[in-house]
Homo-oligomer: A and B are copies of this chain.
Amino acid sequence: MSEATLVQAAIGDSEFDRDTAVTRRAPGVYDIDLSAGWTIINAVNGGYLLAVLGRVLADALPHGDPFTVSAHYLTASEPGPAVVRTDVVRTGRTLSTGQASLFQYDEEGREVERIRVLASYGDLDQLPDDVRTSAKPPAIPPLDQCFGPADAPAPVPGSSAITDRLMLKLDPSTLGWALGSPSGKGEMRAWFGLADGRDADPFSLLLAVDALPPTAFELGLSGWVPTVELTVHIRCRPAPGPLRISITTRNLAGGFLEEDAEVWDSADRLVAQSRQLARVRI
């Protein structure tokens, strides 16, 4: 990470780009080797999987930018070979819709579906510049007053390989869980970037919306919070520089919770909104 900060990686030539690159085996069929570098504990991060599928659909569809991506997580992915099969649902002038499923293999080599997405793509650069928003960027202290896994007094629960690839600095006021005193509020705020300095693009935003520790930690829950479904809207091409992300949970009920994420860029534009439904072990 220290070395990475010396030389900033470029979009298209970074760890993230290499680890989400796919190979087209045949029309609508893509191969990828899921990297072990984006695991959290032993699970492949859901946002990384979303970015892989996002890149596949950008190749399969006539439009290159994800506008809205809905993902249903079926079984836990593992590092290693996977195949993605796509279906072009509809192509339009300004929007196209596609579907993609990622499969891995069981002991007998049979395909097991891990995640299926339905997504509509467009061209962010063709959107008008009008902005009428009542949303405000999250109130978060300056980057140098926030803390990452390396700053933790003890190893942060949930830390794993992915943390080496992210620049993730959490708002101290949402870090109680890491110090054994969760706030009880379902809020988490952080500065976010890629460790090698690669700037954000729509695909890294798909990673960003699922990259923070779960809000459940601040609600005093521990353990895995598996995503059932996650939908993300990409609203604007992000400006260079670090992102600010807030995630909030308002309703924990019946063993499920929603987690809403907002991603803001350095130009104070709301560039992505997401919501996921996740399971908790009470």
Type the 1/0 row for A263-282, where 1 means its CB is closer than 8 Å to any CB of B. Answer: 00000011001010100001
Chain multiplicity (copies): 2
A49-57, A193-201, A204-212, A225-233: which one contacts chain B?
A225-233
A21-54 residues at the B interface, CB under 8 angstroms: none
Q: Is the CB of B275 within 8 A of A251?
A: no
Residue A99 interfacial (CB < 8 Å): yes
Q: Give the shortest distance, in Å, between A93 (CB) and chain B (any CB).
A: 13
Size class of the contact patch on chain A: 35 or more
- Please measure, in the bound complex, the distance between the C-alpha atom of A30 and the C-alpha atom of B44, giving whole angstroms: 37
In whole angstroms, what is the CA distance A127 to B117 when docked?
A: 26
Pairwise interchain contact A67-B277, C-beta atoms closer than 8 A:
yes
Closest residue of B by beta carbon distance from A75: B90
B74 touches A90 (CB 8 A): yes
**Residue A235 lies at the interface, judged by CB distance under 8 Å to chain B:** yes
Any chain B CB within 8 A of the CB of A254? yes
Q: Which residues of the partner chain B approach A235 to less than 8 Å between Cβ atoms?
A: 251, 253-254, 256, 258
Cα(A185)–Cα(B134), bound, Å? 8
With A133-B253, A255-B130, A275-B275 given, is the CB distance from A89 to B113 under 8 Å?
yes
Q: Contacts A236-B254, A258-B233, A275-B275 hold; do A70 and B118 have CB atoms under 8 A apart? A: yes
User: A164 to nearest B CB, angstroms?
Assistant: 32
A222 to chain B, nearest CB (A): 15
Report whether B228 and A120 are in contact in the complex, using a CB–CB cutoff of 8 Å. Answer: yes
A169, chain B: closest CB distance, angstroms: 25
Enumerate the 5 nearest inter-chain pairs by beta-carbon distance, A residue then B residue, closest first: A127-B254, A70-B70, A135-B250, A68-B229, A131-B253
Of the A-B pairs whose beta carbons lie under 8 Å apart in the complex, a sample of 5, sorted by A's number, is A74-B89, A99-B116, A118-B118, A134-B185, A235-B254
A interface residues (Cβ-Cβ under 8 A, vs B) = 67-68, 70, 72, 74-75, 89-90, 95, 97, 99, 113, 116-120, 124, 127-135, 185-186, 219, 228-229, 231, 233, 235-236, 250-256, 258, 269-270, 273, 275, 277, 282
Known A-B contacts: A67-B228, A233-B277. Give 15 more (CB < 8 A). Answer: A70-B70, A70-B229, A70-B231, A72-B97, A72-B119, A97-B116, A99-B116, A120-B228, A124-B254, A127-B254, A130-B254, A134-B185, A134-B251, A235-B254, A236-B254
